[in-house]
């Protein structure tokens, strides 16, 4: 039912669909922030291993 | 993006447990990287559901507060919402299951021809490592024991309850087979940064395949209760460059085998 509202004798009541959509959108936004953090970390990890492969950085302490 | 980068501070690289650590240790193997990625995939859904449920909860408390809504409704059915709240969780479960099974089966892949096989034997309360690839018929395996360094013998910069006298030396970027067993009670050989935890069961040989992607020193601890000193049998894996592996093994291990 479009614009389904919680039935009440006198008050207008909230729209269930609207609240669900807003909640889902907020959830997606928060999840999206997390995904961005994940992609950023993946990018940094990939860059680290690329640099290691090319020999521009090293994790081995040089022999003295 | 700069603000977001600042907000989501990354923890400095670590291959051992750190005080107040929040996330996983940095991955040193493809398996651990897969585990971290799977965690991130699942955490996305966790955040989605958490924020959604919190929103609905707060809005329900807001709209149906007794001062705002003196007469409560008795709603007992809602076919559409019941269908949606069944389908959506099933879809979420499916989206989680796909990468999860992919990782699980990839972890079970046995490397057919690893370069090196190392046996890790659990004891109460130390480890024995055997390098048996270098035997000739009359020689014994390269074998050594690995005991925790007690707190009073630690040097500056060493980690408490994590350091050992003899580390497991392995070559980096090389396929390894680790065979784990025990000589007495069950133990578990665990190295978090390698994504490895393998039970050491007496009378059984468990096999794991790992590929350490970068040189470094990786710490772990016994992960199966094995008696009074269960907390004092750590594991330290030192991944060295391939070209240095031979000399490290011969220099480190031959004095021990001489004593053994």
Please, which residues have CB within 8 angstroms of residue B130's CB and are 6 or more apart in sequence? Answer: B118, B119, B121, B141, B142, B143
Tell if the CB–CB gap between A38 and B44 is shorter than 8 Å.
yes
Interface probe for A, chosen from B9, B56, B92 (most Cβ of A below 10 Å), is B56
Contacts of A30 in chain B (CB under 8 A): 47-48, 50-51
**Region of poorest pLDDT, from B32-36, B135-139, B181-185, B201-205:** B135-139
Closest Cα in chain B to A7 = B73
- Per CB-CB distance under 8 Å, the chain A contacts of B75 are 6
Residue A9 contacts B, CB cutoff 8 Å = yes
Nearest CA in chain B to A48: B214
pTM of the model: 0.85
User: Which domains can be identified in chain B, with CATH numbers?
Assistant: 30-107 (1.10.287.90), 116-259 (2.60.40.420)
In this prediction the ipTM stands at 0.82
Instruction: Check A14 against B59: CB less than 8 A apart.
Output: yes
pLDDT of residue B248: 85
Chain B, nearest residue to A59 by Cα? B215
The C-alpha torsion from B14 through B19 and B24 to B28, rounded to 10°, is: 20
- Within 8 A of A7 by CB-CB distance, chain B residues are 73
pLDDT tens across A4-61, in order? Answer: 566 555 556 778 889 999 999 999 999 999 999 999 999 999 999 999 989 888 888 7
Q: Give pLDDT tens digits for B170-209.
A: 999 999 999 999 999 999 999 999 999 999 999 999 999 9
Contact A27 B37 (CB under 8 A): no
CB nearest B49 (choices: A27, A52, A59): A27
CB pairs under 8 A between A and B: 79
- Number of helices (H), then strands (E), belonging to chain A: the values are 1, 0
């Amino acid at each position: 039912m479009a614009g389904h509202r919680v039935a009440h004798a006198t008050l207008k009541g909230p729209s269930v669909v609207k609240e669900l959509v807003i909640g889902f959108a907020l959830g997606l936004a928060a999840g999206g922030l997390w995904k961005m953090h994940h992609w950023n970390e993946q990018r940094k990890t990939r860059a680290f291993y690329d640099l290691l492969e090319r020999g521009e950085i090293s994790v081995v302490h040089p022999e003295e | 993006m700069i603000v977001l980068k600042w907000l989501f501070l990354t923890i400095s690289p670590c291959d051992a447990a750190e005080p107040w650590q929040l996330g996983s240790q940095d991955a040193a193997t493809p398996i651990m990287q897969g585990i971290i990625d799977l965690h991130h995939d699942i955490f996305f859904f966790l955040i989605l559901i958490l924020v959604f449920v919190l929103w609905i909860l707060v809005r329900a408390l807001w709209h149906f507060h007794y001062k705002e809504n003196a007469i409560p409704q008795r709603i007992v059915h809602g076919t559409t919402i019941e269908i949606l709240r069944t389908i959506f969780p099933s879809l979420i479960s499916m989206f989680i299951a796909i990468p999860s099974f992919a990782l699980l089966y990839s972890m079970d892949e046995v490397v057919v021809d690893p370069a090196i096989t190392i046996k890790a034997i659990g004891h109460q309360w130390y480890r024995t490592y055997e390098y048996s690839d270098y035997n000739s018929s009359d020689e014994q395996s390269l074998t050594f024991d690995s005991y925790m360094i007690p707190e009073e013998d630690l040097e500056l910069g060493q980690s408490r309850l994590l350091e050992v006298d003899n580390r497991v030396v392995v070559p980096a970027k090389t396929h390894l087979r680790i065979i784990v067993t025990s000589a007495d009670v069950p133990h578990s050989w665990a190295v978090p940064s390698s994504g490895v935890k393998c039970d050491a069961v007496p009378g059984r040989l468990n096999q794991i395949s790992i590929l350490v992607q970068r040189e470094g020193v990786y710490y772990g601890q016994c992960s199966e209760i094995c008696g009074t000193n269960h907390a004092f049998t750590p594991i330290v894996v030192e991944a060295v460059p391939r070209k240095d592996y031979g000399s490290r093994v011969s220099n480190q291990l031959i004095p021990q085998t001489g004593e053994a």
